[in-house]
Amino acid sequence: MGGSSGRTLNLTLNVWRQAGPGSAGGFKTYQAKGISTDASFLEMLDVVNEELAAKGEEPIAFDHDCREGICGSCGMLINGTAHGPWKMTTTCQLHMRAFRDGETITIEPWRASAFPVVKDLVVDRSAFDRIISAGGYVSIATGNAPDGNALPIPKVDADAAMDAAECIGCGACVAACPNASASLFTSAKVSHLGKLPQGQPERYRRALRMVAQMDLEHFGGCSLHGECMEACPKGISIDHIMQMNRDYVAASWKGEPIAKAGGAG
């Protein structure tokens, strides 16, 4: 059955086009005709791109990889909302039945000075990678996987860490934040590792370094507007920002520990 409704939509797209990082961009209008309501948003763009390619025009560039909502590659501002109108849904999992026939859809790239546009709807999110390298890791013992429950973890902590670990790093929180702040992303990483026993050795250093990196990347500050949480396709809560702030204050109080020479094996 597949639940196919067999309906199709004719849409007007208002898409941000930009040839390269430095070049001036602008909106261009396209017609998307005969789009199945069963198509995903990216499949709709695929259809438009095929037509553009057939006409010898440059297809609309956008990031995507898994197309099943788990990799965090996709993401664009759709009618003023990060990842479009469906809550807790990535752009690749947004389906065209969310739209009405004849609707005009405005599509823009994530906007932040930390996320420069590479081309059209593709932005450079390597600022997130640098925040992770600043402290989003644990000093684990490598080797075989440990036995289950060898390390007892309270259920609430395990659940909270798992909730935070759902972050796929898509950048919707930054895109939706009026301040282009990366606080939800960073706090999800701080909370994910800091709630678990394996994350304790670097807990405070992590908060200091990741928060410092956020500033270095020129993300804005957190005003607790709450937009990030609404935009997050994984529904990550602003509660994690409290955890980050607590760790940051405690770490600032303690100061960064001086690394011992030699280090552990």
Partner 1 sequence: MNALWKFWDSSLGKKIVMAVTGLAGVGFVVGHMVGNLQMFAGAGAADAMHAYAKLLRTSMPLLWAVRAGLLACVVLHVTAALQLAARNRAARPQGYQQVTPQASTFASRTMLLGGILLVTFIVVHILDMTLGVAHPNFTHLDPYNNLVFGFQRPLMAAFYVLAMAALGAHLVHGAWASFRTLGLRKASERPLHRTIAVAVAIIVALGFMSVPIAVVIGALQPQGAASEMQASR
Site residues (vs partner 1, CB under 8 A):
14, 27, 77, 79-81, 106, 108, 111-114, 160, 176, 178-181, 183, 211-212, 214-215, 218-227, 229-231, 237-239, 241-246, 248-249, 252, 255
- DSSP of 86-147: STT--GGG-BGGGS-TT-EEEEE---BTTB-EEETTEE--HHHHHHHHHH----PPPSSPPP
From partner 1, ligand FES, none, which one binds at residue 161 (CB under 5 to 8 Å depending on kind)?
none
Q: Which residues pair with 32 in a beta bridge?
A: 11
From partner 1, ligand FES, none, which one binds at residue 90 (CB under 5 to 8 Å depending on kind)?
ligand FES
Q: Which residues pair with 77 in a beta bridge?
A: 82, 108
Question: CA 79, 219, 41 angle in degrees (round to 5)?
Answer: 25
From partner 1, ligand FES, none, which one binds at residue 230 (CB under 5 to 8 Å depending on kind)?
partner 1
Among the listed residues 76, 92, 172, 184, the single contact to ligand FES using CB under 6 A: 92
CB closer to partner 1 out of 8 and 89:
89
CB closer to partner 1 out of 64 and 209:
209
**Cβ contact 188:240 at 8 Å:** yes
Instruction: Establish if 88 lies at the interface with ligand FES (CB under 6 A).
Output: no
Instruction: Establish if 40 lies at the interface with ligand FES (CB under 6 A).
Output: no
Distance, CA of 261 to CA of 175 (rounded, Å): 41
Nearest one of 245, 206, 202, 200 to 222, comparing CA atoms: 245
CB atoms within 10 A of CB 223: 12
CB closer to ligand FES out of 72 and 220:
72
**Cβ contact 207:135 at 8 Å:** yes
Q: Near ligand FES by CB under 6 A, which window of 20-28, 48-56, 59-67, 145-153?
A: 59-67
CB closer to partner 1 out of 97 and 225:
225
Distance, CA of 45 to CA of 39 (rounded, Å): 10
Residue 12 CB, nearest approach to partner 1 (Å): 14
Amino acid at 4: S
Instruction: Establish if 246 lies at the interface with ligand FES (CB under 6 A).
Output: no
Instruction: Establish if 244 lies at the interface with ligand FES (CB under 6 A).
Output: no
**Which residues are near ligand FES by CB under 6 A?**
64-67, 69-74, 90-92
